[in-house]
Structure 1
């Protein structure tokens, strides 16, 4: 779509400016022109501007034509012929241009050397090259000509502005469109696809979307996100960032470093829960917080008989239904590092099978005598 817009803009600019260019065009060696005098067919002639930049014409002889417009040649011929013809009506028309060759390099779709007409301008050859790419730093294009550099703001030129940058091209010209600097940010730690990611110039990305781009968090991710931006460390709660809370979800900037530390202390939840597994513990964590982090219970979960196994092998049976119905705080206990929460299905869960599937809980299995 962008390429189409660029091509259409260039074509429109050509049709708008072509008549003006033809009138102002200064002739070059190799251009072919036609000269005619009204009522004097014998004075009609086609001629090519020779390597010395001159043309030869009956009654007038040799005159310089290079770097002159057709209108200037017409005036000069009329003055010279007036010695032989009363009020001569002379017309001078450009038949064909000498072919020039220019080179286009950098962030265009088709780099290469192009044969163009002597009246072609920068936009004409950019169109021949298929337009600029999405990675082009269009404001910083350069036209190199005989050791000199002319700056070209292609971005404005393609918008129809800065038409003075639409230089008429000369043989041997080189146009270079540089690649804009890549914007990147890195993410490391407990994400599924750590690494460096490119940022867009045109579209901002917030921290939660950047995490998703990196494959989201691993099961071992901690509770905090550490962001280093402009050499200043900032820390956010994972839950707040994933919930897109404004204060914990900044726009990721070029050069930012993001780190997701692993959980230092964990609690585990198994059974009739959406995402069973281990989660980082914090001192304010209660059972309801853990269940929410694990994606909430399944429909068949038995909330009246939740088993809480402490690190010291103490087992508690929790009736969390009372917390939801009667707001009883004892039914929503604070959790401790290493706690294991088991959610059954109407007392019908085969915990041996659950532990076998999860592994790593031999001490609990031994405790129950399984």
Structure 2
């Protein structure tokens, strides 16, 4: 019996030794690479970067590093505590280190076990950056974005600026510092230094423009008030309208901050720059001016911003014999007032009236009285003749 038990024990030990020998032949230390050290599927996703990773990139929790050693490939993630655990080598802290220093720290740990020529360290996926955008944007809030994202891209993520956004006085709050940003210089001049890369926990604040720093553009039915941008042309404002489109509008009525009103063809003022508080009304139909009174051709004329009342009157056929130059009046918005026909501004829709001269008026009265006297005289003669 003892002999039988001894044989069974010897057979079991031999089998165990044989199994260990067959397992270890040709197998690397990291033999469970398919299970324990298999490359994560998320790491194989393309990295959404605008270019090469900047060596000054600051490493933190969530970053992935790929480690190449003679016995295989390992992918490790920076832990919430900011450390990287390299199997078989130990743990190294890399949180808040620039990328080149973090790689050097991991490499230093590897060199305690492997030769330098057989190891390699590279970052394969970077952590998300958390940024908040507040103020005059269409979708304010908190966003988790890719590292190395620039300010202009972030504005796209929040669906762009609102019409009254004051892009000239934007703020970027980073740690305890506040950066003032004039984003219009990037939009109009392409200054890349303004389009900065965002960092974790950045807060972007876009203020609303003050009422005295706006321009209003609209039609009879709808209008849009936008932020005034120094140097921006009327055409650029039209191209960026969101509430409505300029469409087939051909004319623009411009009211300047001092109350002066002018009308232009849109095509002729697209390159013009207007002051803050300017109001612009767009029209589709051609503007007209109406002329009546002592003129040969009562009617309407196409508005011309270079014309004064005297030009419309002359085009209607008035003469100094019938019309009075000194008493020309205009009816505008239901109100009548006298004007200087040589210098005062005429607006679309005005009704210009030129009265008859005093001579013509007296002559008409005289003719009327003479006619009336003739009628009375005739009636008297008929009455006396009938009584005889």
Q: How high is the TM-score relative to the length of structure 2? A: 0.47
Which has the bigger relative contact order, CA under 8 A and spacing at least 6?
1
TM-score w.r.t. length of structure 1: 0.48
